[in-house]
Amino acid sequence: MIIKCPFLIKYKDFKYLYTSGTIFKCTVGNVLLKSGDLKERWACKGCQIPRIVKKITCSYLKPHKIFLIRGSSKTWLSCELLNMEMDSSGDFCQLNCKLYE
């Protein structure tokens, strides 16, 4: 797998007459992705989530991603302790928070 993300899982292998491949699942966005999608910026390639959750290990941090239509997505974070939503940069946690756990 070309993308290292704790939320990316293999969903199933498929094989038809002249083609075969693997379908993946983004468990954050609860969406199925083709292997080619992993290289797209709207899916995994441009996704901040793997980097953020590696850097900010706070147990209250929750990533979110929604794929409204194929070819676009929106990513954000939330804090389950403070019950607030944040942009996908992780800056709030790193710069302002003393509650980090």
Number of amino acids touching ligand SF4 (CB under 6 A): 24
User: Between 24 and 53, how does the x/- string for binding to ligand SF4 read (CB under 6 A)?
Assistant: --x-xx-------------xx--x-xx---
66 in contact with ligand SF4 (CB under 6 A): no
Question: Element (H or E) spanning 53, and its range?
Answer: helix 49-55
Q: Which is nearer to ligand SF4, 23 or 81 (CB)?
A: 81
**23 scored as a contact of ligand SF4 (CB under 6 A):** no
Nearer to ligand SF4, 23 or 97 (CB): 97
89: how many CB neighbours lie within 10 A of its CB? 13
Shortest distance, position 12 Cβ to ligand SF4, whole Å: 16
Residue 100 in contact with ligand SF4, rule: CB under 6 A = yes
Closest among 89, 10, 6 to 50, alpha carbons compared: 6
